[in-house]
Amino acid sequence: MWDVDGRRYLDFLSAYSAVNQGHCHPRIVQALVEQSQKLSLTSRAFFNDALADYEEYITKLFGYDKVLPMNTGVEAGESAIKLAR
């Protein structure tokens, strides 16, 4: 994003959960439209054919053994307590 004097800034402010789509960049908007025509949101409690591909990709990208996709905040804290127990 840019201020009134043309200075460029990176916007690291996210919205609720995973719905922050930035500032209407055409490629992001098009991806959003295409995805919403298939499935807009799902829970890990239900099977979907993209979760395993995502988990494989993200663990390889960061060199981790496992991943637990979730929201930040309360869910992250609850999961940390469960794992510690």
pLDDT in tens, 57-85: 999 999 999 998 876 677 778 878 888 88
Full-model pTM: 0.46
Can you give the pLDDT at residue 3?
86
Can you give the pLDDT at residue 53?
92
d(CA 38, CA 31): 11
Half-sphere exposure of 63 (CA within 13 A, CB side): 0
Which phi-psi region, left, alpha or beta, contains residue 22 (left: φ > 0; alpha: ψ -120 to 50)?
A: left
- Mean pLDDT of all residues in the chain? 81
* Nearest residue to 71 (alpha-carbon basis) of 12, 10, 19, 24: 19
Q: Residue 18 pLDDT more than 60?
A: no
8 beta partners: 2
